[in-house]
């Protein structure tokens, strides 16, 4: 019985996530088209609503091409590892009040551990392809992810100092009186920009720079191999926006000034906040040119790292001075 309930929970988390990933691709193309004064996908289905299904079917039936000089075992496993790691992170995300697969007490550490492991899928894909372009893209991506994970870790220390727990549900419940985005607005902005860099999104999409690296670490992949990388990237985007919602926007908690909306389910509040942050990802991609690689590294190591470390000392000193430590 326990096994059946666990499988049911997994399905109830994974299926909506896969649908969200599929329609996130459509939303991105539609929003960018609107910002560029064009229509976007509008042929397959009403208003183009079946376009993600058509894209998925196309990738599914295409021939999988395996490079003759590649290390085939690692080459095939790399996208599978990347996609699975993008999914298992969702085990500890509270999607609503009491709606979480595993409400463990070290949820923040679990998220940081899984995000660190995701580098291996990218590194192995670039190395096993036996292609200079793919390997350079993988190295860039690894360096970028490691650089911005440091600042993300220090930013989260500020939240943990205010909460006194590593449990994500506790982080949300602590924000019942005030969301952390208001007292910690500069940290929220740094977290959001770091999330862009962590997920290799524009203007930090250096690992997939078409101008110099063709397509980065997935240049040799086709069909379902490419699709798994694609799905993993969008799953990580939704994950980072969900974490921003949990840490700074009160998770599933409603906007208290809007008393008329108390009847809205907690999962809807969570989804609306996450969708708003995802819209920001698309808006930024449409608006800003790509950074140079030295600018990317300078921002991570010389700007975000000292600023996030300074905020740790500042928040800790405030909490100690007023005896507010939980």
Phi/psi class of residue 49: alpha, beta or left (left: φ > 0; alpha: ψ in -120 to 50)?
alpha
304: confidence class by pLDDT, cuts 50, 70, 90: very high
What pLDDT, on the 0 to 100 scale, is given for residue 273? 93
pLDDT band at 214 (very low <50, low <70, confident <90, very high): low
Per DSSP, the residues of 103-155 read --TTHHHHHHHHHHHHHHHHHHHHHHTT-HHHHHHHHHHHHHHHHHHHHHHHH
Residues 172 and 248 in one domain: yes
pLDDT for the residue 261: 58
CA distance 166 to 226: 35
Q: What's the pLDDT band for 256 if we cut at 50, 70, 90?
A: low
For residue 200, what pLDDT is reported?
84
* Span 34-58, average pLDDT: 89
Running DSSP on this structure, what letter comes out for residue 236?
H
**Domain co-membership, 27 together with 104:** no
Q: Are residues 37 and 95 in the same domain?
A: no
287 and 225 in one domain? Answer: yes
Average pLDDT over residues 197-211: 77
26 with 98, same domain? no
Same domain assignment for residues 33 and 65: no
pLDDT tens per residue across span 222-244: 888 888 988 888 999 999 999 99
Q: Could you report how far apart the first and last alpha carbons of the chain are, in Å?
A: 39
**Are residues 45 and 177 both part of a single domain?**
no
What are the tens digits of pLDDT across the range 313-325? 999 999 988 887 7
Instruction: Say how many residues make up the chain.
Output: 326
Residue with more model confidence, 232 or 255: 232
> Does residue 1 sit within a domain?
no
Mean pLDDT for 244-265 is 76
Separation CA 269–CA 273 (nearest Å): 6
| pLDDT tens-digit readout, 81-115 | 999 998 898 989 998 887 888 888 998 999 999 98
Q: Say if 55 falls within a structural domain.
A: no
260 and 155 within one domain: yes
| The total number of structural domains that make up the chain | 2
Quote the pLDDT of residue 215: 64
- Distance in angstroms (rounded) separating the CA atoms of residues 319 and 297: 32
Give the mean model confidence (pLDDT) for residues 21-40.
Answer: 91
Q: Higher confidence at residue 131 or residue 77?
A: 77
Is residue 7 in a domain?
no
Whether residue 213 is found in the same domain as residue 259: yes
236 & 127 share domain: yes
**204 assigned to some structural domain:** yes
Q: Are residues 230 and 271 in the same domain?
A: yes
Whether 144 and 255 map to the same domain: the answer is yes
Q: Judge whether residue 42 has pLDDT over 60.
A: yes
Choosing from 50, 74, 94, the residue where a domain stops is: 50
Q: What percent of the chain has pLDDT over 90?
A: 38
- Domain range for residue 161? 61-321
Query: How confident is the prediction for the chain on average, in pLDDT?
Result: 87
pLDDT attached to residue 111 = 92
Report helix, strand and coil shares of the chain as percent, to nearest 5: 70, 0, 25
At residue 219, the pLDDT reads 82
The CA radius of gyration of the chain, in Å to the nearest whole number, is: 20
For 8, 91, 208, 264, the CA distances from 4, given in Å and listed in that order, are: 6, 16, 41, 30
Does residue 5 belong to any structural domain of this protein?
A: no
Residue 192 has pLDDT above 90, yes or no: yes
pLDDT in tens, 111-166: 999 988 888 888 898 899 888 888 888 888 888 888 999 999 999 999 999 998 89
Would 10 be classed as within a structural domain? no
pTM, two decimal places: 0.91
Residue 9 lies in a domain: no
Could you tell me if residue 2 is inside a domain?
no
Confidence grade of residue 284 (pLDDT, cut at 50, 70, 90): very high
């Amino acid at each position: 019985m326990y096994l059946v309930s666990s499988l049911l929970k997994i399905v109830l988390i994974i299926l909506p996530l896969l649908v969200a990933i599929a329609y996130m691709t459509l939303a991105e193309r539609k929003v960018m088209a609107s910002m560029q004064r064009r229509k976007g996908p509008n042929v397959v289905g009403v208003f183009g609503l079946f376009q993600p299904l058509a894209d998925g079917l196309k990738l599914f039936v295409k021939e999988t091409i395996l490079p003759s000089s590649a290390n085939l075992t690692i080459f095939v496993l790399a996208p599978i590892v990347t996609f699975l790691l993008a999914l298992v992170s969702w085990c500890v995300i509270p999607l609503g009040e009491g709606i979480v697969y595993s409400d463990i007490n070290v949820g923040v550490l679990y998220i940081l551990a899984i995000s660190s492991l995701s580098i291996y899928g990218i590194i192995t894909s670039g190395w096993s392809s036996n292609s200079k372009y793919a390997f350079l893209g993988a190295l860039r991506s690894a360096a970028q992810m490691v650089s911005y994970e440091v600042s993300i870790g220090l930013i989260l220390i500020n939240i943990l100092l205010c909460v006194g727990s590593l449990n994500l549900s506790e982080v949300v419940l602590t924000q019942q009186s005030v969301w952390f985005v208001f007292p910690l607005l500069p940290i929220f902005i740094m977290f959001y920009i770091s999330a862009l860099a962590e997920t290799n999104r524009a203007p930090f999409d250096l690992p997939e720079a078409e101008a110099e690296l063709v397509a980065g670490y997935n240049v040799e992949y086709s069909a379902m191999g490419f699709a798994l990388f694609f799905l993993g990237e969008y799953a990580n985007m939704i994950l980072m926006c969900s974490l921003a919602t949990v840490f700074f926007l009160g998770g599933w908690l409603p906007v208290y000034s809007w008393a008329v909306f108390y009847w809205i389910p907690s999962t809807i509040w969570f989804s609306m906040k996450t969708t708003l942050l995802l819209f920001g990802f698309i808006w930024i991609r449409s608006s800003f040119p790509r950074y140079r690689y030295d600018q990317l590294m300078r921002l991570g190591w010389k700007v975000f790292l000292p600023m996030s470390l300074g905020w740790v000392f500042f928040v800790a000193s405030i909490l100690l001075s007023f005896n507010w430590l939980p």
